[in-house]
Structure 1
Amino acid sequence: MTIKSIQTLFSEAMQEIKTINADEALKMVEENNCNLIDIREGNELESTGKVENSVHIPRGKLEIYLDPNSALFQQGVLDQNKEMVLFCAGGVRSALAVKALKNMGYEKISHIEGGFGSISQSKFKIV
């Protein structure tokens, strides 16, 4: 059995998932067409700031919180009818996370190319 490298996993995920840029994501947020989900760890948000209008769900808890019966859906924090747009610091974790959520059955799902790095260079507001 061959164990795949992170580069291989990332490369395979990129062939299967939808990738958008920060400007496309911002337009979706402004038009209220998506759930913007930050999957970075809490200490990353503390050191770099939070993206306005994003929901923080650490990568390790993503599948739990995106279960259709989770409190985030029940309380209206997330809207299952809108596209889930994920981002991490640089785009690797979010690409792998999108692939995992596709395996859960999500279809309207994408990630932001370049992650927080590209978001912070765009017109998104960091709070």
Structure 2
Amino acid sequence: GFIPGSIHAPRGMIEFWIDPDSPYHKEIFAQSDKRYVFHCASGWRSALTVATLQDMGFSAAHLREGFSTWDAQGGPVAYPEPKD
């Protein structure tokens, strides 16, 4: 599952997705005045991602306890449509 409205942003690609000069740049990261919230399963990779974004001048936060705790505490979770 995933948090509704979220996008998948792999930790190993985030710097490339943010850099406007990168061929892998994603437009969702073109707004440096936007606040970004990241999560991973347990909170460790998202903490590294937030540190990277903050070093690059972005406002970012993460779910400290991760998606697992979000789900266990009843946070909204969506599931992908089954593929035929």
TM class by shorter chain equals 0.7 to 0.9
Q: Distance in 2 between matches of 1:116 and 1:83?
A: 19
Q: Distance in 2 between matches of 1:122 and 1:78?
A: 28
**Higher strand content, 1 or 2:** 1
Q: How much does 1:56 deviate?
A: 0.4
- Aligned to 1:60, what secondary structure does the other structure show? coil
* Match status 1:98 vs 2:50: yes
TM-score, scaled to structure 2: 0.73
Equivalent runs, 1:1-127 vs 2, <5 Å: 49-68=1-20, 70=25, 72-73=26-27, 77-78=28-29, 80=31, 81-106=33-58, 108-120=59-71, 121-127=73-79
* Conservation of the 8 A alpha-carbon contact between 2:3 and 2:78: yes
- Aligned to 1:96, what secondary structure does the other structure show? helix
AA paired with 1:59? R
TM-score, scaled to structure 1: 0.51
Alignment CA distance shift 1:115-1:79 (3 Å): farther
AA paired with 2:67? F
Q: How much does 1:115 deviate?
A: 0.9
Aligned residues: 74
Q: How much does 1:78 deviate?
A: 4.8
**Higher helix content, 1 or 2:** 1
